[in-house]
Amino acid sequence: MPASRLGRDYHLLWSAAVSSRFGDALRTPALALLAATLTRDPRLIAAVTVAAQVPPLLFGLLGGVYADRWDRRRTMALVDGVRAAVVAALAVAVAVDRAGLGMLLLVAFLLATLGTLFDAASFALLPSVVPPDALPRANGRLQAGTAVAGGLVGAPVAGAAFAAAPALPFALDAVTFALAATLVLALTPPTSPRSCIFRPDKPHEKPRTKGHNCKIAGSRARAGVLWVGVRWLRGDRTLWRVTLLSAASNLAISGLMAIVVLHALEVLRVPPAGYGLFMATAIVGGLAGALVAGRLASRFGTLPVLRAVLAAQTVALAGFALARHPVPAGLALAVFAAGTSVWNSLWAAYGQQRVPATLLGRVGAAQRMVGLLTAPIGAAVAGLVAGAYGTVTVAGAAAGTFAVVTVAAWRVLRGARPEPESDPLPAPTFSAPRASE
């Protein structure tokens, strides 16, 4: 059967996501560079990064709640509008030399907090924008577009813009947020949603009336509203297993990323001037994986592809750990990054196909929170291990972790039920014809 068209609304949403990612790629390194001009204390500079990593763990579930209660299109536009104002204010402060370290910490924390609501609303909106069978392809193209905007275009531009004027990357970021908000508002408005009654204490019980906004029934249910997404996720055995596999994988990925620069410089003998080119192999690999994710899922099925991806990544990591030259190591890193893009694209699409439309924000937030819980642990452990035994040990441990995850995936996903052809509950009605390192 011919693949469903993605449609006008998807292309608007894709453009908004790419615009926003380009702005992120300008702002993130500029914040680090600006912090380095204010202090040389590595703990304070690292604090700016930490300030952007904490909000998803603190407020991720809450963002999912409001993504399900509010109009998702307007929520995304409002969040990007506020983020544009915040970054514009920072640009002005930098231009007049009034930006201190405290302001950088506050801006990083505030933007990441707003981002949790935006991400939850975006995840929940996509299934209403494209047909269910097009979700893997739509997610893959989102991955590809954001990889190009963030890695191949945004990262090189960020350094040049900061060198030209420290306030310039922040001003450009404000423009990208404003553009993204405008594009989201151009989406076809949803019809007026009908109300429904949903019981979080019975997360897999179908709501009485299908719609976008759901009232929470029962006092105990209201008290546990933040955990609705986690409860639904736990109730779907296959999706819960895939989420746990993602969390285990992130333990190794974050550990590897924490030491990859030292490994490249000290073990692979990559010259500092060539480090950007070396890491570009990962970007190219991620782009290739994102572009083929939808085709692989259509041809072989989502779960078989997820199992095969883990096996390929294990081999790639083993090759990276054994390599002592930049070329084979770069190729191994490209294969690994391609697998990561395929996994992320299909993991998001698989969840979006299974979760009721009324719970997409909360369940999507739960997926992301559980998947990211292990990332700080992996980075911290990798730093300690690398300091004691070297970066080769960390790379080998990452390959070993992926081998364990691969064996577990082939055991727990082999007998899993196939994904449904459509959402368990219909998505909110839109005039036009759903999809997510």
Q: Which range, 37-46, 163-172, 375-384, is most confident?
A: 163-172
**Cα(53)–Cα(74) distance, integer angstroms:** 25
Q: How confident is the model at residue 326 (pLDDT cuts 50, 70, 90)?
A: very high
Chain-centroid distance, C-alpha 101:
27
Mean pLDDT of the 332-351 span: 89
Predicted confidence (pLDDT) per residue in 142-179, tens digit: 878 887 887 777 777 877 888 889 999 999 999 999 99
Q: Which amino acid is at 203?
A: P
Q: How confident is the model at residue 28 (pLDDT cuts 50, 70, 90)?
A: confident
**Higher-pLDDT residue of 71, 364:** 71
**Higher-pLDDT residue of 366, 275:** 366
DSSP state of 154: I
Of 140, 125, 190, the closest CA to residue 352 belongs to 125
- pLDDT > 60? residue 3: no
Burial of residue 224 (number of CB atoms within 10 Å: 0-12, 13-18, 19+) = middle
The CATH-assigned architecture of domain 1-190 is: Up-down Bundle (1.20)
**Cα(281)–Cα(335) distance, integer angstroms:** 9
The C-alpha angle 48, 282, 40, rounded to 5 degrees, equals: 25
DSSP E strands, 238-384: none
163-198: string of b/e by CB count within 10 Å (b at 16+)? eeebbbbbbbbbbbbbbbbebbbebbebeebeebeb
Query: What pLDDT was estimated at residue 402?
Result: 95
Segments of the chain assigned to CATH 1.20.1250.20: 1-190, 228-417
**Cα(161)–Cα(49) distance, integer angstroms:** 20
Helix axes 391-412 and 237-262, enclosed angle (nearest 10): 170
Which residues is 190 bridged to in the sheet? 430
Residue 288 tokens, joined: 């290739």
**Cα(174)–Cα(151) distance, integer angstroms:** 19
DSSP state of 423: -
The predicted model scores a pTM of 0.69
Element at 198 (helix H, strand E): strand 195-198
Q: Which amino acid is at 208?
A: R
Predicted confidence (pLDDT) per residue in 208-243, tens digit: 444 444 444 444 434 456 678 888 888 888 889 988
Count how many residues are written for the chain. Answer: 437
- pLDDT > 70? residue 335: yes
Burial of residue 323 (number of CB atoms within 10 Å: 0-12, 13-18, 19+) = buried
Predicted confidence (pLDDT) per residue in 56-104, tens digit: 888 888 888 888 888 989 999 999 999 999 999 999 999 999 988 899 9
Of 68, 350, 115, the closest CA to residue 229 belongs to 68
Identify the three-state secondary structure at position 361: helix
Q: Which fold has domain 228-417?
A: Growth Hormone; Chain: A; (1.20.1250)
Query: What pLDDT was estimated at residue 220?
Result: 44
Chain-centroid distance, C-alpha 13:
16
**Cα(171)–Cα(35) distance, integer angstroms:** 17
**Cα(417)–Cα(410) distance, integer angstroms:** 14
- pLDDT > 70? residue 124: yes
